[in-house]
A and B are shown apart, each in its own frame.
Chain A
Amino acid sequence: MSATTQEPEAPARDNSAPAWRAVFDRFGSSGPLLGLLVLVVVLTVMSDAFLTVNNLVNVFQQISVLAILALGMTAVIITAGIDLSVGSVVGLSGVVAGWTFVEAELPMVIAFLAGLAVGALAGFISGLMITVGKLPPFIATLAMLSMARGLALVISDGRPISGYPDWFRDITRYQIFGLVPPSVLLVVALFVLGSAYLRYRPSGRALYAIGGNEEVARLSGLKVNLEKLKVYTAAGALAGLGGLILMSRLDSAQPTAATGMELDVIAAVVIGGASLAGGRGSMSGTLVGALIIGVLRNGLNLLDVSAFWQQVIIGAVIAIAVMTDTLRRRSKR
């Protein structure tokens, strides 16, 4: 700790911040967005195929499941929590929807709603374990990770469930204006909604206080447990939605789908400037974080980098992104 940073007499230095900084700051913090832009420029130079409308839509398409999960995870992480179960819930919701349609022979709309509901229920149960059962979020959602994945395997007997109506596949395939699939529009809409929620709703503002200091939040009369329960339920429902979108893309419900995806999700949120200690994070930052991961994967594919090396590079990018952000933040104060 450098003691100089705590000097109360020292005036704030960034009064004269240039206008572009203000634009970047709307995206949580300027670091991640700057990183994304650099990445885009580099990839544009290195590959002709990168900066084409089709490829960019493709990137969005590829990150839509990740982004939807990261949306819920951002809220959870702002409250100083974590949800490790989202990957498993993706698998479970798909399998439940698939089973409802194929085995129970109910209409696809019911199956869709069942998938969403089971995701929300999983999140709700995690929330109960955390608020009523007083389990640390890490443990509660680790338990849910195992339970949800196990149930997905039990229900499907470990086998994929396939064969869905056209409209369901079209969620990720149809191209509005011959270009953008509905699922991509859905992601954009959800991010606008989520961002507005955090910024303008009383309970959205409350999440920052809960993550910043839960005791202060409680003593200020906030319903801390209720807010947390809502956040985990929402994260679960979003994971359910993610499961349905993945299922639409694969045209099949895979019980092992999205195994380990929770780590990519956490990475996207953290690259986007959120703090695992809570109290800090934004939806726009998370979207940039998810895009960085998506653009990087896409670019490395275009450049013919092997999947093994991709993992190495993405790991390094996570470390560098969070480190530069932390260092910059510290020097700014």
Chain B
Amino acid sequence: MSVLSESRASAAGIGLVCRGLTKTFPGVRALDGVDLEVRYGQVEVVLGENGAGKSTLMKILSGAHAADAGSMTLDGAPYRPDTPRAAIASGVVMIHQEMNLVPDLSVAENIFLGRQHQRNGRIQYGEMNRAAAELTRRVGLTADVSTPVSRLSVAAQQQVEIAKALSLDARILILDEPTAALGAAESERLFEIIDELRADGVGFVYITHRLREVARVGDRVVVMRDGQRVAGWDRADVEIDELVEAMVDRTVDQVYPEPREPDDGELLRVDGLGREGAFSDVSFTVRPGEILGIAGLVGAGRTELARALFGAEPADRGRIVVDGREMRIRAPVDAISAGIVLVPEDRKAQGLVLGMSVQDNIALPSLKDVAQGGVVRRSGVKRLVDELARRLDLRGQPGQAAGTLSGGNQQKAAIAKWIPKNPRVVIFDEPTRGVDVGAKVSIYRLIDELSRNGVGVIVISSELSEVLGLARRVLVLSHGHQTGLLEREEATEERVMTLAVSG
């Protein structure tokens, strides 16, 4: 009797235990005998390239899929959720990368959606808001619970999601790339929330592509590749190179190509550029073949600057000069004919028409160039796309819907569509967000190749190491103001961060 209760107690400490999980889809073995242990009060980091089987594993944990083989126990008892609802009832809640909130409903209503406090069929707002305020305090959300979530930042919306999970008595929380859309300060805030919940005994499964945060947030690390668990550590302060090697199964010598010395002359000059309410008085130049980095916290005006250069939301002050000629850029069409193109930060909403085929997406800006005598022929489009796919190592069928590509290949397609326009200046806004390590490296190579061909490149990224690794000069923005323009030698992480939080 005492033996039994003792083994139960230790099992309870472990939480969720998976043994030999296997899942086969027609033609593909997505998971192959995977073991995973999620302990209460600990963060289990799961790493792997896209397609490594992480999402399949999470879907099994959260009840969206059933495993073909293997077993799961929760608190020592068999755990076999057949729907997400059943998983939630057992206390296992997944927070998706694309958040599931109703934009026009309040924070409180979102937290208690479908479970609002009622009396005689009427919603008791006072009671509900009080309960919601209790939860939002726990996750550090400062906004009032009656605010519609559409008015909250991405970080705050995430806090609402976590509060909602807590309201469901979640004991195991699965976070899918929670920092993908967050800046450095917001990510740190999230880590603090995780720390607090961890102290309260909540167990986490934490998926990320940002290897630098593993040591900060995790307790243990698991690396997956090709549906298998290929490495695991009982600690999280693993060398990043070691993690990358496990993920890609090859050694990384040089992730960032050394930036080349730019050509003489001035390709792009930006003078006192500004847009009311977004940023003001930004001035810089880009030489042919130069890579300029733009750093700053989320909300510093980086994306707004990029969109102004591209005419998506035109600037209302200042000058944009390309090759010595002042350009009037009021719309993307103007920017494209001036030779400036943008690979936008949100490729799913701004870069690609997800329901359209890959080849139609890539041909979109060049339809008129591909047309012969005003006629777009499928064969012409195919020739163009096949060549680009080869050059960019873009995997997938030209005819498949762009939305079904992996993140890395979507990004390659979003870049590929500009190549036939022979751009002079290419702006990359968060080029490797949500992209696996392998695809990251090929995107860096592509950026390098562009600069070697004399193209001016502007790279915006929330990953500071990426900006510092790629760029020859770094422009720092803070609260819409330009606070610095650093040469590569002087651009250290500390310098940039100091400038990013000043002003």
Contact = CB atoms under 8 A, between A and B. Distances in A.
Contact of B336 (A9, A199, A205, A221): A221
A219 B28 contact: no
A331 interface: no
Contacts of A221: 332-333, 336, 365
A209 B364 CA distance: 8
B351 A3 contact: no
A4 B26 contact: no
A216 B312 contact: no
Interface in B272-303: none
Given A9-B25, A218-B332, A213 B349 contact: yes
A202 B371 contact: yes
B65 A3 contact: yes
A12 B352 CA distance: 21
A202 B368 contact: yes
A198 to B, nearest CB: 10
- Most chain B beta-carbon contacts within 10 A, residue among A13, A199, A217, A220: A220
Interface in B124-162: none
B376 interface: yes
B interface residue count range (under 10 / 10 to 19 / 20 to 34 / 35 or more): 35 or more
A99 interface: no
Given A9-B51, A10-B28, A216 B353 contact: yes
B502 interface: no
Contacts of A7: 25, 30, 56
A212 to B, nearest CB: 4
Interface string A192-220: 00000001111011101100110111111
B354 A11 contact: no
A209 B359 CA distance: 12
Contacts of B40: none
A10 B26 CA distance: 6
A280 B354 CA distance: 12
Contacts of B406: 8
Contacts of B353: 208-209, 212-213, 216-217, 279
A203 to B, nearest CB: 8
A265 B58 CA distance: 46
Contact of B350 (A200, A205, A208, A215): A215
Interface residues of A, number: 31
A128 B400 CA distance: 35
A4 B404 CA distance: 13
A159 interface: no
Given A9-B28, A280-B355, A219 B312 contact: yes
A10 B25 contact: yes
A223 interface: yes
B51 A200 contact: no
A200 B64 contact: no
A121 interface: no
Contact of A205 (B349, B367, B397): B367
Contacts of A10: 25-28
B351 A216 contact: yes
A208 B331 CA distance: 21
A274 B371 CA distance: 25
A216 B368 CA distance: 17
A261 to B, nearest CB: 30
Contacts of A222: 333, 364-365
Contacts of A200: 375-377
- Most chain B beta-carbon contacts within 10 A, residue among A4, A11, A221, A222: A221
B374 interface: yes
Contact of A279 (B28, B356, B370, B374): B356
Contacts of B64: 3
A117 to B, nearest CB: 25
B354 A213 contact: yes
Nearest to B62: A3
- Most chain A beta-carbon contacts within 10 A, residue among B28, B30, B364, B368: B364
B344 interface: yes
B30 A217 contact: no
A11 B28 contact: yes
B342 interface: yes
Nearest to A208: B356
A206 B361 CA distance: 10
B81 to A, nearest CB: 13
A223 B336 CA distance: 12
Nearest to A210: B353
B364 A3 contact: no
Contacts of B332: 218-221
B209 interface: no
A219 B310 contact: yes
A202 B51 contact: no
Interface in A1-34: 3-4, 7-13
Nearest to A6: B404
Contacts of B452: none
Kindly list the 8 A-B residue pairs having the minimum CB-CB distance in the complex, ordered from nearest.
A212-B353, A202-B367, A3-B64, A221-B336, A9-B28, A220-B364, A213-B353, A200-B375
Given A12-B397, A201-B371, 15 more contacts: A3-B64, A8-B405, A200-B376, A202-B367, A202-B370, A205-B367, A208-B360, A209-B353, A212-B355, A213-B353, A213-B354, A215-B350, A216-B352, A220-B417, A223-B333
Interface of B: 25-28, 30, 51, 56, 59, 64-65, 310, 312, 331-333, 336, 342, 344, 349-356, 360, 363-365, 367-368, 370-371, 374-377, 397, 400, 404-406, 417
19 contacts: A7-B25, A8-B405, A10-B28, A11-B26, A12-B400, A201-B371, A201-B376, A202-B367, A205-B360, A206-B364, A206-B367, A208-B356, A212-B353, A218-B312, A219-B342, A219-B344, A220-B417, A221-B332, A280-B355
